[in-house]
Amino acid sequence: MSVAELNASTMASRELPVSVSCGICGSDAFTVLYPAGVAQINQIVRCDRCGLMYANPRKEADHVALEAERDEWDFTERNRQRYEKERLQVRDYVATRSLLGRLHPDRGKLIEVGSSCGYQLDALRSEGWDVLGIEPDRNAARHATQQLGIPCITSLLEDAHLPAESVDAVLMLHVIEHVPDPVVTLREIFRVLKPGGHLVLETPRYDTLMFKVLGRRERSLSCDGHIFFFTTESLRRAASLAGFELDKLEYVGRSLTLDRLVYNIGVMTKSRRAQRVLGSWSRRLSLHKLSVTINLRDMQRLYLRKPAS
């Protein structure tokens, strides 16, 4: 099926109006893996040329852009989980911070693309880095600035207009799966990095036993805000197209509260009733007070370097 054919069908149905080409090779030829509403709100396809999985067609703005529209930041159940999750997951990057420290013993300027509430940057600042957040969600950026004192630009990276070769290191953790054009974003990071600078890039991976077993029920696939779904090979290819060289690859897990774990299980059931029942039991048992670290090797963390010359 071509993009032209898909646009014609979606215009007729008035659903999900924007169709796109492959975010890596630009091909319009694809195979449908999951129709819209099966795995998530968008239809998920696989490029027939390079194998990249992506949402197509999709909404004009994904949830990252939509977050910037919100004016209120209430301590709702959703935001409580967000605070807890982000504070907890700082511990998942102890080794990453240590490696960056060894690579850059004099520290320097570090930015986080998609810095959210600022907890990771707060830890890096305590280790001597001059930090800056880039976060389109104005409320999360406000939390980072007002509660933690983290300087933050409230925009997408491409709209921040950072000077070329002005940054020593960049973090982009669980963001590239949301951006409308991954290679364009990676090229902008490449532009602002100094020669010899490093990018730490992390995202879910879809060449795993977990994905093969769960299919449409896989947790990260089910997130409506995810519009790209990378295997290790497709992510490495995107990074290479932007000019990066790979220094190190790790398959990692994440820390989460038992409350969040139960929430994820609920999402995987695809049943609203099951989600309500699990949520009720989670609150009764105060599962947000307990945490666990799980490594199913379903997350990939790449340490990428801009060549020195």
Mean pLDDT (whole number) for 220-230: 94
Q: Which fold has domain 65-254?
A: Rossmann fold (3.40.50)
Q: How, if at all, do strands 291-305 and 245-257 pair?
A: antiparallel
What per-residue confidence (pLDDT) applies to 118? 96
pTM, two decimal places? 0.88
Taking only the tens place, the pLDDT of each residue in 162-178 is 999 999 999 999 999 99
Contact 305, 197 (CB under 8 A): yes
Q: Is the pLDDT assigned to residue 295 strictly greater than 50?
A: yes
pLDDT band at 206 (very low <50, low <70, confident <90, very high): very high
Q: Give residue for tokens 């997350």.
A: 299
Distance separating alpha carbons of residues 189 and 85, to the nearest angstrom: 26
Q: Where are the domains of the chain?
A: 1-60, 65-254
What is the per-residue burial (b if ≥16 Cβ within 10 Å, else e) of 125-147? beeebebbbbbbbbbbbbbbbee
Taking only the tens place, the pLDDT of each residue in 98-137 is 999 999 999 999 999 999 999 999 999 999 999 999 999 9
Taking only the tens place, the pLDDT of each residue in 10-47 is 333 344 458 999 999 999 999 999 999 999 999 999 99
Short-list 156, 167, 152, CA closest to 121: 152
Average pLDDT value for the chain = 89
What per-residue confidence (pLDDT) applies to 1? 41
Residue ranges of the alpha helices (H) in the chain? 3-13, 63-67, 77-88, 94-103, 119-126, 138-148, 157-160, 182-192, 209-214, 219-222, 232-241, 258-269, 272-284
Q: What 3-state class would DSSP assign to 281?
A: helix
